[in-house]
Amino acid sequence: MGDFGPKVDAISVLVADSSHMQTQLLVAALRRRPEFRVHYCLLESEAILAAIEQHEPNVVVIAAERDLSSIRSVHLSYPEIPKVLLTGNADRSTVVNAFRAGVRGLFCFADLPFRLLCRCIQCVHEGQVWVSNGQLEHLIETITHVPSLRVINSNGHNLLTRREEQVVALVADGLSNRDVAHELGLSEHTVKKYLYRIFDKVGVSSRVELVLYAVTRGAVRNAEWVPA
């Protein structure tokens, strides 16, 4: 690890990557910019956390594809430090999981030039979020779709339909029948019918028992919209 010496008012940036050659190229490019003071480390949670403790960066730039465990570990330990994910793949799954893991910016070299990476780092350092229009659409689609909660029996078999799983997820979040009906575009009467059917399948007799059952035997599914 190392840097070329401090620059006054420069943004301290830590770059973590598993490719030594790629890291050297990226670090060299960033060090040519006077607004940055750059450090680097391997793409391993322990190495990143040690480098953060040593260098106290303002922004962490992590080059990763599918495995976002390093970002999650860093975010749990240092939620106040903005993180940028460098990736060659900006599909919906990558975008959504990256922001869930704690990134403030997602940069795809396949779509954007290096100069915009510099702007990305500056933006997240200033407290903004860096996301393209296409990536933003992925995020909006995800938060506007309704979550569902997979409920299983002791043998691991699904007990409920996808729509019933959505009802359980919303009830577990504390929504009333009226609110559940509004979220799913159903009538309150229909929601009550769903609940009675769910109670019968799961073997409970109240919303409280249903929530406890869901917490102990449920698993969150990816958000989706199930037509009425």
Q: Indicate the SS3 state at residue 221.
A: strand
Please give the CATH architecture assigned to the domain spanning 145-224: Orthogonal Bundle (1.10)
Give 185: exposed, middle or buried? Use CB within 10 Å, 0-12, 13-18, 19+. Answer: exposed
| pLDDT band of 225, cuts 50, 70, 90 | very low
CA–CA distance, 195 with 2 (Å, rounded to integer): 60
Domains 11-141 and 145-224 share a fold: no
Which pLDDT belongs to residue 198? Answer: 92
Contact 47, 69 (CB under 8 A): no
Cα distance between residue 19 and residue 1, in whole Å: 14
Strands (E), 5-164: 11-17, 36-42, 59-63, 83-87, 105-108, 146-151
Per-residue pLDDT tens for 6-45? 445 899 999 999 887 788 889 999 999 999 999 999 999 9
Cα gap 178→169, rounded to integer Å: 15
Please indicate whether residue 51 or residue 157 has the higher confidence score (pLDDT).
Answer: 51
Mean pLDDT of 191-220: 83
Give the DSSP letter of residue 147.
Answer: E
Give me the residue spans of the domains in the chain: 11-141, 145-224
Q: What is the pLDDT of residue 202?
A: 85
Mean pLDDT is lowest, of 101-105, 149-153, 167-171, for 149-153
The answer as to CATH 3.10.290.10 being correct for domain 11-141 is: no
Which secondary-structure segment (H or E) carries 69? helix 69-77
Distance CA 92, CA 7 (A): 38
Nearest of 65, 83, 70, 63 to residue 18 by alpha carbon: 63
- DSSP conformation class of 212: H
